[in-house]
Homo-oligomer: A and B are copies of this chain.
Amino acid sequence: MLEIRIKTSQRVEARNITHEVSKTMQGRAGRLLHVYTPHTTCGLTINEEADPHVMQDIMEALDRMVPRNYPYKHMEGNSDAHIKSTITGCAVTVPFSRGAPALGTWQGIFLMEFDGPRERKVFVTIIE
C-alpha cells in the first residue's frame, strides 16, 4: 500500500488525481488497482475528465440532493459532507489490461472534497 497526499483548496472540489495515482504505480503491474481514502467527509469517484463541467455538474447535483444547511443532528456543520461520502463511496477499483489500469478514454479518478480545504490521504494498492 502506497500513500499519497492531496491538498484541496476549497470546501467543495472535484480533484483529478489520476496522474498522482498513476505515478505511484510506475513499473508495477497486477490485476486490480484499488484506491482508498481513509476520511469520512470526502469521496472517490471515476467519471469524465475531459470537460471539467461534468464534475462541476456532479458536485452541484449532490449539493441539491444533500443541502449543506439543514437541521442535521451532527453538530459539526459538515453532515452534508458525510452523506455525500456515503453516496459516492471512499474507494474505487480499476482492472489492469496489458500492464496498465484499464481506464476508459474519458475516465479519470477524482477525489471529491466535500469539507475542505484539507490535506487528504489516498492509499493505492495493487492486487496481483
Contact = CB atoms under 8 A, between A and B. Distances in A.
Interface of A: 1, 31-32, 34, 36-40, 45-48, 51, 53-54, 56-58, 61, 65-66, 72-76, 79, 82-83, 85-97, 102-107, 121, 123, 125, 127
Q: How many copies does the complex hold?
A: 3
A46 B44 CA distance: 12
Nearest to A97: B1
A102 B54 contact: no
Chain A interface SS verdict (over half): mixed
A75 B90 CA distance: 29
A125 B38 contact: no
A123 B106 contact: no
